Amino acid sequence: MRRSMLGRLAVAACSLSLLTAFAPAAVAQADGGGHDRSYKKVGYFTQWGVYGRDFQVQDLEANGSAGKLTHINYAFGNISPQGRCFTGNVPGEADAWADYVRPLDAANSVDGVADTGEQPLAGNFNQLRELKAEHPGLKVLISLGGWSWSTHFSDAALTPASRKAFVESCIDLYIKGNLPQDGARGGAGAAAGVFDGIDLDWEWPGSAGDTDTTYRPEDKQNFTALVKEFRTQLDAYARSQKKKTKYELSAFVPTAPAKIDAGFDVRRIMRDLDFVTLQGYDFHVSGEPRTAQQSALRARGDFSVDGTVDAWLRRGAPANKLVMGMPFYGQGWTGVSGGGDGMGQPATGPAPATWAAGYEDYKALKKLADSGAYTIHRDRRGGHAWLFDGTTLWTYDDPQVLRAKTGYIREHGLGGAMFWSLDGDTADGELMTAVDRGLRGR
């Protein structure tokens, strides 16, 4: 996964702070049928999930999620050492084959029609275009960076000239859709209309991220300026196209107060961002020596969703621009000793899993829960759940936890929910359905 174990450890290693005295924002008004104002439901679709997991864009139609989502964030777009958005076929750096070259057969196509060798756009981008045709209200954003691909964000944002050139390159590639030619694929305007905006996933301005990611003290002011540059250029391009609605601009932002303060001038960036998606997971990770919650709604003296919301509100973020992140996966430990329910106990290491040790999709954890080999434990006050079989523990969100979180979103007037990532859900979209119903007050 692009958000690697190291990334989760970097967040969890920040000094813990108890965030209290949360003052609820105004409660969103509901109509007589129980439907609140329109909440954002933002799901990340992973570029690489089409391979081992075999999760295709068409699966969002098959499992019913497409009709419930308001936004899909496509993860990820990369930034070159020269500070430009780019794509290509560069192992570990770009995957044009998955993005727009790979042909899909009729069974894996949203419209049920196989791709041809002559069409300029295929792959995930074409399927997203087809999905939007089926769901006209659905928006797709290109998410730039992520844990592994934030390497050159700081350099790209360093000067007015570098910011201008960086933003121009991203708009040219993704919004105008001018893709590099790859055989019959690509070319000028090939992906025009696929993306409705840009999501900035810089991990993290002003503080440490992945081992090769550059960061500087001036990242905070440069990120503010970069957000402004994106807003300015996106709006200018929309006007030039006589577009009736603006291109959207969002950002993925951290939990740890130290990271917020190091990299985010909250009041200023929120003027130009349509919304931010809050890190609501990886509060603790399987690389740590003791088991712990990874996504609790509330946790005294520890990271939590409530604490994250409070931290952003205290720094001036409007409640209705805060979109709560929710995990469609779990963090797991094995060799757990100490007895009891396993929580807070020593462990020997990350639990074995399908794709990466210590990280398992919800759909696999549901099978463990249904098998009877694990006991489901709940901290109802804290709003989190975990599975434990006496040796292995998985902390995760299930539909019951998500119902509590959607109730919190409604109660505090937040902007909606975000999910990392859509390929972790069940074949019938169990988690997506739970969130959708919860936000509707059902």
What are the catalytic residues?
Answer: 203
Q: Give the residue among 74, 214, 199, 77 at the shortest CA–CA distance from 157.
A: 214
Cα(248)–Cα(237) distance, integer angstroms: 12
Neighbours of 183 (CB within 10 A): 9
> Which residue has 């169990």 as its token pair?
430
Q: How far is CA 3 from CA 97, 152, 153, 325, 398, in A?
A: 21, 16, 16, 14, 21
**Per the structure block, which two tokens stand in for 262?**
């190091």
Exposed, middle or buried, 258 (CB in 10 Å: 0-12/13-18/19+)?
Answer: middle
Q: Give the residue among 154, 28, 157 at the shortest CA–CA distance from 440.
A: 28
The number of CA neighbours under 13 Å toward the Cβ of 18 is 5
Q: What is the largest CA-CA distance in the chain?
A: 65
Q: Give the residue among 1, 13, 21 at the shortest CA–CA distance from 283.
A: 13
Q: Give the residue among 78, 100, 82, 102 at the shortest CA–CA distance from 90.
A: 78
Query: Strand 179-182 and strand 375-379: pairing?
Result: unpaired
The answer to whether 279 touches 254, Cβ cutoff 8 Å, is: yes
The answer to whether 335 touches 376, Cβ cutoff 8 Å, is: no
Cα(36)–Cα(185) distance, integer angstroms: 43
**Per the structure block, which two tokens stand in for 236?**
């200018």
